[in-house]
Structure 1
Amino acid sequence: MWAALWRHRDVVELLVSRGADVSLVDVYGNNILHWACMGGDRTTVEFVLSLDGVDVNSRGGVGRTPVMWAAWRGHRDVVELLVSRGADVSLVDGGGNNILHLACMGGDRKTVEFVLSLDAVDVNSRGGVGMTPVMWAAWRGHRDVVELLVSRGADVSLVDGGGNNILHLACMGGDRKTVESVLSLDAVDVNARNNFGETAADVARGWGHRQLSDLLLSRGTQ
């Protein structure tokens, strides 16, 4: 498992030849394929996939499949490989997040573009606490991914389970460029309040992003 994570394919092959049991899982439920996909070395993943008894759609920690871990880590080539080998991209993890949510958390634009090209996941799908992919991208400060998703039809007027819109979430994340990009969208109400009665400026202050709060106040936040 360690060799797979650290991208040492030759060591993985050596250990397998010496009797390493690739059916074992760690305390979180992750098997060797999950770890290889976290590591992101395509040749290691290819070797592991060639072994009998390794399920491409096996569930690991927090209910994630190998392709979910690869997407979260931004390993686009591994995601593509797994999809070609039968990875089911319609599945969700234990928190209700699908592969697009996880790719957007990770923030690799090329990975997100590939997942979107599969036409298997709704760009406005709801995941953990009601968050959509563009909400995750905004919170994590991945401005280029936010802009990509908006260009592909992401609905920026939606709110999550706490009543936070994309601007609230961008302010939690604290990336100024992402906040400025969100502010440029006509559908975002700068004065919208979440379920706690907080505006985006309130959220920015609460998360310690004073400069963002000042920026929002300069844009007309009440």
Structure 2
Amino acid sequence: YRQTAISWAAERGHLDVVNALYKKGADIDNRDKYDRTLPYWACSNGKQDVIDYFLSNEQNASHKYYNGRNLLFVATGYGSLDDVKRFLKSDPNPCDDKRMTPFMFAVQKSHVGNVEALRDAGAKPLLKDNAKRSALHYAVESHLSAAIIGRLISVGCDVNARDSGGK
């Protein structure tokens, strides 16, 4: 991925190392070959103190990565509920390059707490991605609980909808 020492430190949550490398001139605008930034590496591993450090040093939380996903996506799929709540101050329904939303991604990753936080923040569970898959498709595929699937149905997810592959 062409990571640098500071990106490795960010990923592992070593704030003291991140700070020391930054003070010695490490590039905090560094991006890997997929355009992932240092806040991405920290967020994908739930390292809140490192995320705070980068955001306080003017790193952009809304930067989109190679697939059109921002830190809200990263938090919903890999981060903590606290991270999701932090990044929910902006639009809860941004779409990636395949028109997947953070809500769909949280459902796909089976993060029930993140699903509920997104829903409470105004995420739209009826949206569909480019393959015409809804959150309900992802919920069934991810073996989410009957309670979550029931909630998706109760808000109007079409139980007979087919994706572009006919499933």
Same fold, judged at TM 0.5 (above): yes
Bigger Rg, which one: 1
TM-score of the superposed pair, with normalisation by structure 2: 0.90
Partner residue of 2:150?
183
Q: Of 195, 202, 207, which aligns to 2:164?
A: 195
> Which digits, 9 at most, give the CA deviation of each residue in 1:150-200, with x for residues without a partner?
000101110111111001112222232xx52242141322222111222xx
Partner residue of 2:49?
77
SS in 2 for 1:62: coil
Q: Of 1, 7, 14, which aligns to 1:41?
A: 14
Tell which deviates more after alignment, 123-132 or 157-166: 123-132
Partner residue of 1:152?
121
Q: Distance in 2 between matches of 1:183 and 1:195?
A: 23
Partner residue of 2:134?
165
Q: Which of the pair has the greater relative contact order for Cα pairs under 8 Å at 6+ separation?
A: 2
1:32, distance to aligned residue in structure 2 (A)? 1.5
What percentage of residue pairs aligned between the two structures are identical? 29
Equivalent residues of 2:140, 2:149 under 8 A apart: no
Equivalent residues of 2:131, 2:163 under 8 A apart: yes
Partner residue of 1:93?
65
Q: 1:71 to 1:197 in 2, by over 3 A?
A: same
Q: Distance in 2 between matches of 1:149 and 1:184?
A: 13
Amino acid at match of 1:46: N
Equivalenced residues, count: 165
Partner residue of 2:78?
106
1:68, distance to aligned residue in structure 2 (A)? 1.1
Partner residue of 1:68?
40
Runs (5+) with no aligned partner, structure 1: 1-27, 199-222
Equivalent residues of 1:67, 1:79 under 8 A apart: yes
Amino acid at match of 1:181: I
Q: Distance in 2 between matches of 1:34 and 1:60?
A: 9
* RMSD between superposed Cα atoms in Å: 1.6
Of Structure 1 and Structure 2, which has the larger fraction of its residues in helix?
1
* Misfit runs of 4+, over 6 Å: none
1:107, distance to aligned residue in structure 2 (A)? 4.1
